Amino acid sequence: MVYLCIFCEVIPDLNYLFFMVNIFAVAQMETTRKQILFEELRKLREETNAETLRQELEKERQRRLELEQKVNEVLKARAEEVSAAQQSTKPQTQANGADKRSHTVCSRLQKWFCDKFGEYVEDFRFQPEENTVETEEPLSARRLTENMRRLKRGAKPVTNFVKNLSALSDWYSIYTSAIAFIIYMNAVWHGWAIPMFLFLAILRLSLNYLIARGWRIQWSIVPEVSEPVEPPKEDLTVSEKFQLVLDVAQKAQNLFGKMADILEKIKNLFMWVQPEITQKLYIVLWAAFIASCFLPYRIIGLAMGLYAGIKFFLIDFIFKRCPRLRAKYDTPYIIWTSLPTDPQLKERSNATVSRRLQTAASRSYVGSNAPAGINKDEDTSRFHTTKRGNFHEVFNLSENERPLAVCENGWRCCLINRDRKMPTDYIRNGILYVTENYLCFESSKSGSSKRNKVIKLTDITDIQKYKVLSVLPGSGMGIAVSTPSTQKPLVFGAMVHRDEAFETIFNQYVKITSASSNSES
């Protein structure tokens, strides 16, 4: 009972003790949390430098206030000076009005001049060049036809001008050519040639302006023929696209060939390729130089103008009508036609080398101990060789069989034997030769002579031009030869000079067959 009473008295003290312990624990946790927060705040201040930023901001504010005070003081001082000047110069405003206007005009002119000069100085500033790469358009049939038509339309004024000049020189219209000749000679005689050409250019521009405004004016000696304009096709077949590419390539080839001939002739004229022609030019240049040093320019211009008019209107007309006179007496035409191009020079050099080799071979042959009874043809056939040896040894023929003069080097082609099934035997690349009695094909692959083909001309039953791929335009690039030993004709395809080879083979075939038929009869 006593313990119970003691325990009841102690329980409130324990509760109070537990309560105080809890309060102390909470206070301890709060202090630790505050310490952590202060530590984080300190780190944040150190990282952001907030205090330094505040100090700099305060300094900037003070500077701004000081500048504002100074500006206000300056404005007040200027306002006071202006007001004082106005009060002192009010009676003299009318007298000094002209001076102020002149001063303002001079200041404006000075400012305008400074601005323009600054712009010009900026224009002369050096800048690095920008290397821009133009994007190339892909090949398109529609774009190709459009560019061809654009080129044709763009070149039409130039072609019309050339046609009109040739019509004047050819006296297409007698009255027009006579009037032009009289006006030109009169202008040259009086020294008005340059003003005349300038006036013609102004007149042409004026007419073009009226034509652009809708006027229908035709100023042409040769009547213009309107060509039918074909509407562009939207969808082209494969053969039409291929034919279009071939046409463009042919035109480009011919155009580039003509331009190359002109440039090569001019180059060879100045490079003394043919000394007798360049010597004439050399003498003419010296004569023109001496004349320009001693004669007045008026006389030189008069002589050149009169010569050009007589040459253009009279001499060229006579030479065009009389080709023999032109070939004998037209010096510029003779010089230009006799100038060689680079391919012609190459052919001449090759011909010269071949002649020298032939003469050397003939001399060595005459000096050697040739066996008796062998004629010239049999001997020259021994010296004709292919890439793999003598011709008659490669094809197992007699020594008197040699290629004809037309095909000494042969024609590159591919033999298509449609009787064979294996790809290696179906198509063979090589060279085709024609002799007096045989048609010989030499395979380009290394190996035995079994891959070569020899066809006797008398065994041929039919020979025709052949087109390997029917979808391609044109007549093809092959020759089909039929013999009794083959079920299908042998085709010699991919021949660049197909027509020349066909004519040679066919003529020799007709010659041999006719000779054999005559001998049998």
Residue 323 has pLDDT above 80, yes or no: yes
Distance (Å, whole) CA 432 – CA 478:
12
What letter does residue 491 receive in the DSSP assignment?
E
Q: How confident is the model at residue 153 (pLDDT cuts 50, 70, 90)?
A: confident
Distance (Å, whole) CA 419 – CA 486:
7
How confident is the model over 71-91, as pLDDT tens digits? 888 888 877 877 776 666 555
Distance (Å, whole) CA 137 – CA 143:
9
Quick check: 498 and 468 in contact, CB under 8 A?
no
Residue 445 has pLDDT above 50, yes or no: yes
Distance (Å, whole) CA 243 – CA 249:
10
- Longest distance between any two alpha carbons in the chain, whole Å: 171
Q: Which two tokens stand for residue 381?
A: 């056939």
Nearest to 442 by CA among 384, 500, 386: 386
Distance (Å, whole) CA 508 – CA 410:
15
Distance (Å, whole) CA 310 – CA 493:
57
Q: How many Cβ atoms sit within 10 Å of the Cβ of residue 452?
A: 19
Residue 57 has pLDDT above 60, yes or no: yes
Residues 6+ apart with CB under 8 A from 269: 277, 278, 281, 335, 339
Quick check: 153 and 248 in contact, CB under 8 A?
no
What letter does residue 437 receive in the DSSP assignment?
S
Amino acid code (one letter) for 195: P
Residues 6+ apart with CB under 8 A from 465: 475, 476, 478, 479, 480, 498, 502
Mean of pLDDT values over 363-388: 48
What SS3 string covers 22-44? HHHHHHHHHHHHHHHHHHHHHHH
Mean of pLDDT values over 342-358: 76
Would you list the DSSP string of 450-482? GGSEEEEGGG--EEEEE-S-TTSSSS-SEEEEE
Looking up tokens 């701004």 gives 64
Mean of pLDDT values over 232-251: 69
Write down the pTM of the prediction: 0.49
Q: Domains in the chain, ordered, with CATH?
A: 389-519 (2.30.29.30)
Amino acid code (one letter) for 29: M
Q: Which two tokens stand for residue 212?
A: 């652009």
What confidence score (pLDDT) does residue 370 get? 44
Q: How confident is the model at residue 228 (pLDDT cuts 50, 70, 90)?
A: low
